[in-house]
Each structure stands twice: as C-alpha cells, then as structure tokens.
C-alpha cells in the first residue's frame, strides 16, 4: 500500500474508545496520531495581524509558508474554530511577522486570551494601511488576500506580498523563534 493511499478496511485497527480516536475515513489514521507526528515537525513562529473593523486582530501561527516568488505569494492556515476566523474571512490585507527569539512573550500572548492580545498599546503601532505592526520584529511582510481556500477544519489563506520590512541587514540581529515538540526554541547552527 502506498504511504499516501487509502488503507483497506480489512487492515484497519479496531476503532479506539475516545471520540478523539475515531479514525478519519479518508486517511485511516486518528487525529491523535496525526497531531503526535506533527509535533516533530519544527516550524518558524509568526504572528498574523489584521486591521479589522471591530479593532485589531492577531494570532500566533506556525503554518506559514513561502509559496511563490513570481508572483510573491505566501500562505498560512487558520482554524475554523479560531476567534480570528470571521475577521480573516472579511480581511483584504494582513501582516505576517517573523518573530525573533526575543519575542517569545509575543508568541505566547497572541496564542492566549484574544481580548488581551492588543491591550498593551506600547507593543504595537499601525501601518498607514491599517494593519497592526508589532514593535521589534526583525522581518514582517504585508500581503493582500489573494485566495481563501477552505480545506478540512482550516482555511488556507494565500497572500500576495505588497511590502517587505527587513531590519536584519546582512547579519540577522536576532535568531528566529522556532516551535518544536510543544516548546519554543532558538536555532543552533552546525559546524
Ligand atoms: C506555536 C503555535 C502555533 C500556532 N499556529 C496556528 C496556525 O498556524 N493557525 C491557527 O489557526 N492557529 C494557530 N495557533 C493557535 C492560535 O494562535 C490560537 O492559540 C488559537 O486560535 C486560540 O485562540 P482563539 O481562542 O483566539 O481562537 C498556534 C498556536 C501556537 C501556540
């Protein structure tokens, strides 16, 4: 059987007890098995911000990906259960911040209580186009919303990059913040 193929029903394991353990008919694995595997995939940490009508919106996201150079496209996924989903689906533009290791507190802040994310006015400002910018972020990109593609329990957001802020110069001023196995990390280069 192909690694990606559908597992014949005769070979499937007996249905486990908990609701979380119910195998997905499409893949034959449980969401618990899926999450356990994904924990081992390291990712850079970003914060996505939106200048929504009702006030600034933002959330920590590790699903960011560089998608295309010409045209310059990026992507990330937002969960349909996210408190930011309504604002995301209505947004025309967004900013993705690539966090440095010195911004772990922001990664934590923007993954916890939504009402408190922008409460400290000293942490952010607004672009002339309305999107919130988090102070001290080495690199951020502004993008217009190009495509919104609902997939599974998330929506894939594709953005067309219209502006790049790069404060790193030739040498990165801060190591990027990484997330791996449920913990924040800084990268360590190999010799
Ligand atoms: C390291 C990390 C990465 C995350 N990546 C994503 C992501 O890519 N997409 C997403 O929708 N939520 C992601 N989340 C969850 C959101 O940041 C947020 O915690 C979640 O939406 C709950 O907030 P809410 O109550 O405002 O919905 C991530 C959380 C953490 C801690």
pLDDT digits (tens, 9 = 90+) for 105-136: 999 999 999 999 999 999 999 999 999 999 99
- Ligand 1 neighbour 177 (Cβ under 6 A): no
Helix and strand element counts for the chain (H, E): 3, 12
In contact, 110 and 43? CB cutoff 8 Å: no
- Ligand 1 neighbour 155 (Cβ under 6 A): no
Nearby residues of 111 by Cβ (< 8 Å), 6 or more positions away: 59, 60
Q: Which CATH class is domain 44-182?
A: mainly beta
What per-residue confidence (pLDDT) applies to 6? 32
Which of 166, 138, 147 lies closest to 67 in space, CA to CA?
147
pTM: 0.87
In contact, 139 and 146? CB cutoff 8 Å: no
What per-residue confidence (pLDDT) applies to 52? 87
Beta strand spans in 7-127 (E): 43-44, 46-52, 55-61, 65-68, 73-79, 93-98, 124-126
- Ligand 1 neighbour 60 (Cβ under 6 A): yes
Q: Where are the domains of the chain?
A: 44-182
């Amino acid at each position: 059987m192909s690694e990606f193929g559908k597992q014949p029903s005769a070979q499937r394991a007996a249905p486990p007890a908990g609701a979380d353990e119910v195998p997905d008919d499409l893949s034959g694995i449980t969401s618990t098995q899926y999450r356990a595997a994904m924990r081992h995939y390291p990712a850079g940490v970003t914060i996505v911000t939106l200048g929504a009508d009702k006030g600034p919106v933002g959330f920590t996201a590790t699903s960011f990906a560089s998608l295309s150079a010409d045209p310059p496209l990026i992507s990330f996924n937002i969960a349909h259960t996210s408190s930011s989903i309504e604002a995301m689906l209505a947004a025309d533009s967004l900013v993705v911040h690539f966090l440095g290791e010195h911004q772990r507190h922001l990664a934590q802040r923007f993954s916890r209580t939504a009402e408190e994310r922008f409460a400290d006015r000293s942490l952010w400002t607004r672009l002339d186009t309305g999107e919130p910018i988090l102070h001290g972020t080495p690199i951020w990109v502004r993008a217009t919303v190009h495509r919104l593609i609902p997939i599974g329990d998330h929506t894939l957001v594709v953005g067309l990059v219209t502006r790049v802020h790069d404060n790193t110069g030739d040498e990165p001023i801060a190591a990027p913040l990484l997330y791996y196995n449920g913990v924040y990390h800084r990268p360590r280069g190999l010799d």
